[in-house]
Structure 1
């Protein structure tokens, strides 16, 4: 299901002419940390509840225009764009505008997370691996090829960490036995960041480490 179906148009708009006291009441009636602000029907930005704490209750928000944060998502963007904006602005409510910057409504963080949870990457059965490799040697095509040559299937993958030296990706795999997949990636110079009970290589390392510790204690 597309996220645009979850745009909420019922939220009562806050006007820049409203008093701080009135806006605090609007926050109290909601469960959001930001609320969108308008000048008549024109979207001007969002205000955070914490920024109102020490303001004079009878003053108007228009006296504090510097508190307005201008962020939004356009209606043609993807689920990942939504998640990026939620995280980037530490908010649980995003204003949605069309390509002409006309306000369409808001979308809630909880609805976006529910949609993400229904995606095949999250909902399908499988094993999640975190792999790391030198940036200059990394290729998505190689990751997919190595998995598919072992008669497994990739449910999804994304870059979860990136630096100048290495790439770290999260991969979900439908498989019959994860150990063979892990050993194959090691042979191709991937580091396995995630932990797996079926990882015989990691178990062997632990046994050798335990043996060495016992030897050193003698």
Structure 2
């Protein structure tokens, strides 16, 4: 999945002549706190809600000093690169440019979350297993062999690291809802099972997080 496949054309970029008040109106309408400023096809920068509050809201945004240093992704950038930039800069939207650095569109944080929620991996029935281990013990190949020994496969895997700690959490989604035998196999290999979820619990948790995120955007 690349940036060009996630672009939304619903939100029209700002012009340099637009005022801060007009920008706030668009932000409130689409539940974002960031909007691109575009002149013709050139991306000039990304305006944040804080930039408007730090300047004269009745003035044109073209005269603002922007706090963000041109964060953007290119059309061919991978989904993971997009997520990294969004997280690093705490963005609610990120501009996309083509190889000539012409503005191609916008990706919102809601678009990213919706992509994961609608991804086939999430839709396919299965069970969730969260393992805790130290970094040097992590081997996806070994985890896959254990799961496959119980006639199942890993649909997705996510590794969470912790700052200044050798500990990691590995979240696996497997294609079986009854994961009792898989859990027993992990225990035989001395893996620490931190949590498990069945399909209903998992999607309820995902929906709750999605609703919380939307509520946050609405604030």
TM-score range, shorter chain: 0.7 to 0.9
Do the aligned partners of residues 117 and 103 (structure 1) sit closer, same or farther apart at CA in structure 2, a change above 3 Å counting? same
Local SS of the residue matching 1:175: coil
Residues 131 and 194, structure 2, Cα contact 8 Å, conserved in 1: yes
Do the aligned partners of residues 20 and 111 (structure 1) sit closer, same or farther apart at CA in structure 2, a change above 3 Å counting? closer
Match of 2:147 in 1: 147
Q: CA RMSD in A?
A: 2.7
Match of 1:167 in 2: 168
Aligned length: 197
The structural deviation recorded for 1:52 is 1.4
The two structures have a TM-score, normalised by structure 2, of: 0.75
> Deviations for 1:163-189, whole angstroms, at most 9, x for unmatched residues?
542332110112364222222212323
CA distance in 1, matches of 2:34, 2:48: 4
The structural deviation recorded for 1:194 is 0.8
The structural deviation recorded for 1:6 is 4.2
Match of 1:193 in 2: 194
> Deviations for 1:5-27, whole angstroms, at most 9, x for unmatched residues?
44233533323344333433443
Match of 2:128 in 1: 128
CA distance in 2, matches of 1:120, 1:185: 26
The structural deviation recorded for 1:138 is 1.8
Residues 47 and 69, structure 1, Cα contact 8 Å, conserved in 2: no
Match of 1:182 in 2: 183
The structural deviation recorded for 1:98 is 1.8
Local SS of the residue matching 1:91: coil
CA distance in 2, matches of 1:196, 1:30: 33
The structure with more radius of gyration: 1
Residues 153 and 173, structure 1, Cα contact 8 Å, conserved in 2: yes
Specify which structure has the bigger relative contact order, considering alpha-carbon pairs within 8 angstroms and separated by 6 or more residues: 2
Unaligned stretches of 5+ residues in structure 2 = 199-219
Do the aligned partners of residues 75 and 140 (structure 1) sit closer, same or farther apart at CA in structure 2, a change above 3 Å counting? same
Aligned structure 1 segments of 4 or more residues deviating by more than 6 angstroms: none
Match of 1:13 in 2: 13
- Range with bigger deviation, 187-196 or 24-33: 24-33
Residues 45 and 66, structure 2, Cα contact 8 Å, conserved in 1: no
Unaligned stretches of 5+ residues in structure 1 = 198-218
Match of 1:91 in 2: 91
Residues 158 and 171, structure 2, Cα contact 8 Å, conserved in 1: yes
Residues 3 and 96, structure 2, Cα contact 8 Å, conserved in 1: no
Do the aligned partners of residues 116 and 94 (structure 1) sit closer, same or farther apart at CA in structure 2, a change above 3 Å counting? same
The structural deviation recorded for 1:80 is 2.8
Q: How does 1:61-72 map to 2 (within 5 A)?
A: 61-72=61-72
The two structures have a TM-score, normalised by structure 1, of: 0.76
